[in-house]
Amino acid sequence: MKIDVAESQIYSGIPERTVVIIFGASGDLTRRKLMPAFYHLSREGLLPQKMRIIGLGRRILLEDEFISHMKNRVIQYCTHKMEDRFWLPIADNMFALRADFKEDSTFETLISEFDRLEKEWGGPINKLFYLATSPSHFEIVLQKMIQFRLHEEIAPNWVRVIVEKPFGLDLQSSDSLNRLLLESFHEDQIFRIDHFLGKEAVQNILIFRMSNLLFQPVWNREFIDHIQISIAETVGVEGRVDFFEQTGAIRDMIQSHILQILAFLMMEHPSSLDPEIIRDEKVILLRAVRPFSKSSIQENVIRAQYSEGVVNSQLVPAYRDEEGVKKESLVETYAAIKLFVDNYRWRGVPIYLRTGKRMGARKTEIIIQLKEIDSTSMPTVLGKQRPIPNTIRIEIQPRAGVELTIGWKPPGLLTEVESTSLTLGAKAQLKEPKAYERLLLDVMRGDSTLFIRYDEIREMWKIVDPIIKYWEKENKELKAKNETLPSYPAGTQGPRIAKAFIERDNRSWNKL
């Protein structure tokens, strides 16, 4: 039975008097995800009674212009219509500042704003710092925060910090970032975000696995032929060239979102839903991923960059022609990886991962392809027909749902097997950035269930680090020979090499 309870009743513990400080507010994340999320929270009555958003960014010119730009983005990205009664509480309490994170004056201004607010609001305030800059700026921002003692909490008020992904740029920089954080912050002040964990459909992976006896017995190498996890996007770099040139698809999408999906999909069932126990199981699974060597990278990893093409009926330029991208850039906008999980449950089952920008469709999905049945089990029906293997397709977005492909006899005189599918729980297309809404609220309430523990981040870096290092070396050779990466026209299913990559195993990618 479903009990309807207003969200505001479920979400107890929303703090009063809270300042959210966004470092990197002129970036895409703030306009595409954070502001729409705050607007939704305002509509739901889930924002703190007294709240101020301070946006700091290198590219903020005029405060008014910034705020009206944010309003336009909320209009663009929200399904709910814009209503001033919900927007004004945000806009009237927003403070935007052009800021250089290396300058003391930036932090002095913050402190004087905090003092002013304490006086105006008649008491101490909670501070939520959001590191939404490029990962290369995280350390400098943190060092300055620590220098100005902004990490210090004066009970009962809290100071929390959200660190966007990628957490560092490789294992080493990630370790050093974590050390820096832990020198001054307590673990319960740190929220390492991966917004895919805020998506309902990602949270549902584990529930789907655990609550259906139908699937439990087949969730292993006995029955599963292979797995595909795909995140395809139609968007390009959306003005985030500086960020993407540092991350590429592997750091931006694989080291975080795809490996988190993999962990939920393949981990052992946790003994309870305690977040720490779930994280323990994810870490055990990630540790079982077979490490990449030079030869396995050459064989099992590919990358590519989009060339000019048509996406959603619009001609879009090649990655190298995007504003701000260097003509000789070797940053991958597409990557595909085949990996193995070397444990008892999964040994020998190939897992294919792929992600790409400017693809022909926006889709995040998991394909679990079961093995073919032994055709001797139905000889008279199948005759010469090839058995149709069952497929479980879990769609994360744009529609959250599950589709099962099964074989059955179509109506008619002929006895033959045809494939048909059952679709479960497909919802209307979600345009709203629900994930950030949920996660911002959780941070304000001090609930870290949907955030990532550092040992998970380490394990994810350990998986991709050898690939990153290999590519760095390969880039030098490519540059010396004036060669480019393989390409794929924007608006397609990806590069030709990706097709060949999976077809050599007699398998094919699910069409996006």
Nearer to ligand BG6, 52 or 393 (CB): 393
252 binds ligand BG6 (CB under 6 A): yes
| Least distance between ligand BG6 and beta carbon 398 (Å) | 9
* 51-57 and 94-98 beta bridge pairing: parallel
Give the nearest distance from C-beta 493 to ligand BG6 in angstroms. 18
Measured from the CB of residue 165, what is the shortest distance to ligand BG6 in angstroms?
Answer: 6
Cα separations in angstroms, 2 against 9, 213, 350, 430: 15, 21, 39, 21
The conformation of residue 427, written as its DSSP 8-state character, comes to P
Judged by CB under 6 A, the chain residues 149 through 188 that form the site for ligand BG6 are: none
Picking from 282, 268, 250, 309, the residue whose alpha carbon sits closest to that of residue 474 is: 250
Strand partners, 408: 418
Share of the chain residues as helix, strand and coil, in percent rounded to the nearest 5: 40, 20, 40
Q: In 10 A of CB 222, how many CB atoms? A: 11
Among 290, 275, 347, CA closest to 462: 290
> In this chain, which of 97, 235, 373, 468 binds ligand BG6, going by CB under 6 A?
235
Considering only residues 283 to 312 of the shown chain, the ones binding ligand BG6 according to CB under 6 A are none
Ranges within 390-409 binding ligand BG6 (CB under 6 A): 397
Using alpha carbons only, give the angle 322, 194, 347 rounded to the nearest 5 degrees: 100
Instruction: Compute CA distances 396 → 129, 219, 275, 456, whole Å.
Output: 29, 19, 21, 22
Rounded least distance, CB 30 to ligand BG6, Å: 13
How far is the C-alpha of 69 from the C-alpha of 73, rounded, in Å? 6
Per DSSP bridges, beta strands 391-397 and 401-408 are: antiparallel
When the beta carbons of 46 and 439 are compared against ligand BG6, the nearer one is 439
Of residues 433 and 495, the one with the C-beta less far from ligand BG6: 433
Q: Which is nearer to ligand BG6, 233 or 437 (CB)?
A: 233
Kindly tell me which of 142 and 254 has the beta carbon lying closer to ligand BG6.
Answer: 254
Binding of residue 332 to ligand BG6 (CB under 6 A): no
CB of 195 to ligand BG6, least distance (A): 6
Using the minimum distance from each CB to ligand BG6, give the nearer residue, 252 or 281.
Answer: 252
Q: Is 186 exposed, middle or buried (0-12, 13-18, 19+ CB in 10 A)?
A: exposed
Q: Which residue has the tokens 């690939």?
A: 467
Cβ-based burial of 156 (10 A; exposed 0-12, middle 13-18, buried ≥19): exposed
Alpha helices in 157-240 (DSSP H): 171-184, 200-211
Is 257 designated active site?
A: yes
Shortest Å distance, C-beta 438 to ligand BG6: 12
Cβ-contact 369, 391 below 8 angstroms? yes
Which CB sits closer to ligand BG6, 291 or 324? 324
Distance CA 296, CA 503 (A): 17
| Backbone Cα Rg of the chain | 24
Catalytic: which of 186, 226, 257, 269? 257
Dist. CA 243–CA 253, nearest whole Å: 13
Site string for ligand BG6, 195-234 (x = CB under 6 A): --------------------------------------x-
393 vs 445: CA distance, rounded Å = 34
- Nearer of residues 199 and 282 to ligand BG6, judged by Cβ: 199
Least spacing, CB of residue 228 vs ligand BG6, in Å: 17
Is residue 419 within 8 Å of residue 404, measured between CB atoms?
A: no
What is the C-alpha separation between 249 and 485, in angstroms, rounded? 13
Toward ligand BG6, which CB reaches closer, 140 or 430? 430
Q: How far is the CB of 32 from ligand BG6 (least distance, A)?
A: 7
How far is 353 from 266, CA to CA, in rounded Å? 14
Q: How far is the CB of 333 from ligand BG6 (least distance, A)?
A: 10
The three-class DSSP label of residue 366 is strand
437 contacts ligand BG6 (rule: CB under 6 A): no
The CA-CA-CA angle for residues 239, 460, 334, to 5°, reads 40
Q: Catalytic positions, please?
A: 257
Residues that bind ligand BG6 (CB under 6 A): 233, 235, 252, 397
